[in-house]
Amino acid sequence: MAYDDAGGYANQSYVTLASGTYNNLDRGTIPQYVVNGITYPPFSSGSTKVLYVLPTGGTVTITGFSATQASSGHTFMVVNLSSTNLVQLSHLTGSDPANQISCMGAATVSILQNGAARLTYLYPPGAGNGFWQPA
């Protein structure tokens, strides 16, 4: 990702989350963040390409991301920065239907320590709602 003229990294967001479950993550729950002198913009489901998550105090479970700015096919990476805690992506639960994550096999996806998962927003023709699909 390119470093931008404003002193941050374009299309990247960063958030520290305490152990627990998070629904409908959006700009309000992932605001602009400054770490080590680098400014990361707020999360945007339409433009964020990499979301760095630092879970503290235990496992963080994410049930969905706001899709208000996402179009079908938008992809971003979720990177777990912890060397001790997991980030879990929960299957079709908790968040509003259009913001939910549809995991293959209907099973929770665990992003291991220092690992990553790619999410793509899909809105199939004739479907009532879109969803995020991890790969």
User: Residue 6: inside a domain, yes or no?
Assistant: no
Contacts of 27 (CB under 8 A, 6+ apart): 42, 43, 44, 66
Question: According to the model, what pLDDT value does residue 9 have?
Answer: 62
pLDDT digits (tens, 9 = 90+) for 64-90: 998 888 888 888 899 999 999 999 999
Joined tokens for residue 59 = 């496992």
- Residue 7: inside a domain: no
* Domain annotation covers residue 100: yes
Range of the domain at 120: 12-134
pTM: 0.86
Give the model's pLDDT for residue 49. Answer: 84
What whole-number distance in Å separates Cα of residue 45 and Cα of residue 100? Answer: 13
pLDDT given for residue 2 in this prediction:
46
In a domain, residue 2? The reply is: no
Angle at 101 between CA 131 and CA 92, to 5 degrees: 100
Whether the predicted pLDDT of 18 surpasses 80: yes
3-state helix, strand, coil in the chain (%, to 5): 5, 45, 50
- Do 25 and 57 form a contact (C-beta atoms < 8 A)? no
pLDDT at 3: 43
Total domain count for the chain? 1
Residue 40 within a domain: yes
27-46: pLDDT as tens digits: 777 888 887 787 788 887 77
Torsion over CA of 53, 91, 133 and 12, rounded to 10 degrees?
-10
Find how far residue 63's CA is from the centre of its chain. Answer: 10
Backbone angles phi, psi at 51, to 5 degrees: -115, 115
